[in-house]
Amino acid sequence: MEVLEAIRGRRSIRKYKPQPIPDEVVEKILEAGRWAPSGGNIQPWIFIVVRDRATLEMIRKVSPGYLGTAPLAIVVCSDKQRAFQVGGRLGRDYMTIADCAMAVQNMLLAAYALGLGTCVVKSFSPIAVREILEIPDGIEPELIVVVGYPDERPVVPHRFSIEEITYLDKYGNKFVRKGP
Ligand SMILES: Cc1cc2nc3c(=O)[nH]c(=O)nc-3n(C[C@H](O)[C@H](O)[C@H](O)COP(=O)(O)O)c2cc1C
């Protein structure tokens, strides 16, 4: 699938089929995450693949934003300690979040290209997720990526037009599209 097609076609999915996801497909998604850019190439991410049904259910219960049941979730964590050692406060407090978001977007697009639906979840209790997954201090759960075969076709949500979000050369200077 062409990358622009994936960017445009991907949707957040909140209803999934129970069908399991083959290992090689999961590995392709992780591979996409691994190749994301990161500040200073620190690669602060740690991916926890959750397939165990009881564990998924426990995570769902402490995550108001986790809708629908899916056969898989990838909890994307950042290694704050390592990020601080290499990149100081900027590395720890900002880069890790941006870096994990980059990895997550790669995973969303890869999953979509592989016929899967995903939803990013930030609305979860980090304290509870830490406890459930036995995540040690210094490692922070940043985002959960829920993954499964889609069982819905959501309405395409609104996006601001290019003109509404873009200026040319300086702030406030209108950007006029030349294309169709
Ligand atoms: C950082 C971030 C956090 C999000 N958290 C949640 C969440 O907790 N629960 C949820 O259902 N969707 C969540 N979403 C998905 C957004 O609601 C969704 O991306 C947005 O409505 C646009 O829809 P689309 O992804 O289909 O284009 C999150 C997305 C991002 C990028």
Domains in the chain with CATH codes:
3-152 (3.40.109.10)
Instruction: Give me the pLDDT at residue 7, please.
Output: 98
Q: In the structure encoding, which two tokens stand for residue 175, read together?
A: 């950007």
Contacts by 19-25, CB closer than 8 A, 24 or more apart: 19/71, 19/148, 19/149, 20/71, 21/71, 21/72, 21/116, 21/147, 21/148, 21/149, 25/114, 25/116
Total Cβ atoms within 10 A of residue 160: 8
How much distance in Å is there from the Cα of 166 to the middle of ligand 1?
A: 22
pLDDT tens across 15-50, in order? 999 999 999 999 999 999 999 999 999 999 999 999
Round to whole Å and give the CA distance between 102 and 36.
Answer: 6
Minimum-distance ligand 1 atom for the alpha carbon of 11: 26
Instruction: Give me the pLDDT at residue 112, please.
Output: 98
How much distance in Å is there from the Cα of 117 to the middle of ligand 1?
A: 13
∠ Cα 108 112 116 (to 5°): 105
Minimum-distance ligand 1 atom for the alpha carbon of 63: 8
How much distance in Å is there from the Cα of 62 to the middle of ligand 1?
A: 17
Instruction: Give me the pLDDT at residue 5, please.
Output: 96
Query: For ligand 1, atom 29, which residue shows the shortest CA distance?
Result: 120
Return the closest-CA partner of residue 14 out of 114, 119, 101. 119
Instruction: Give me the pLDDT at residue 180, please.
Output: 75
State pTM to two decimals.
0.97
Query: For ligand 1, atom 20, which residue shows the shortest CA distance?
Result: 12
Instruction: Give me the pLDDT at residue 179, please.
Output: 82
Encoded amino acid at 99, one letter: D
Minimum-distance ligand 1 atom for the alpha carbon of 156: 26
Q: Which residues are near ligand 1 (CB < 6 Å)?
A: 11-12, 14, 65, 67, 119-123, 154, 157
Q: Of the residues 10, 16, 75, 121, which should be mutated to test ligand 1's pocket, given the most ligand atoms within 8 Å of the CB?
A: 121
Instruction: Map residue 95 onto helix, strand or coil.
Output: helix
Query: For ligand 1, atom 1, which residue shows the shortest CA distance?
Result: 122
Q: Which residues of the chain have pLDDT under 70?
A: none
How much distance in Å is there from the Cα of 128 to the middle of ligand 1?
A: 21
Instruction: Give me the pLDDT at residue 117, please.
Output: 98
How much distance in Å is there from the Cα of 39 to the middle of ligand 1?
A: 24
Q: In the structure encoding, which two tokens stand for residue 110, read together?
A: 């890869």
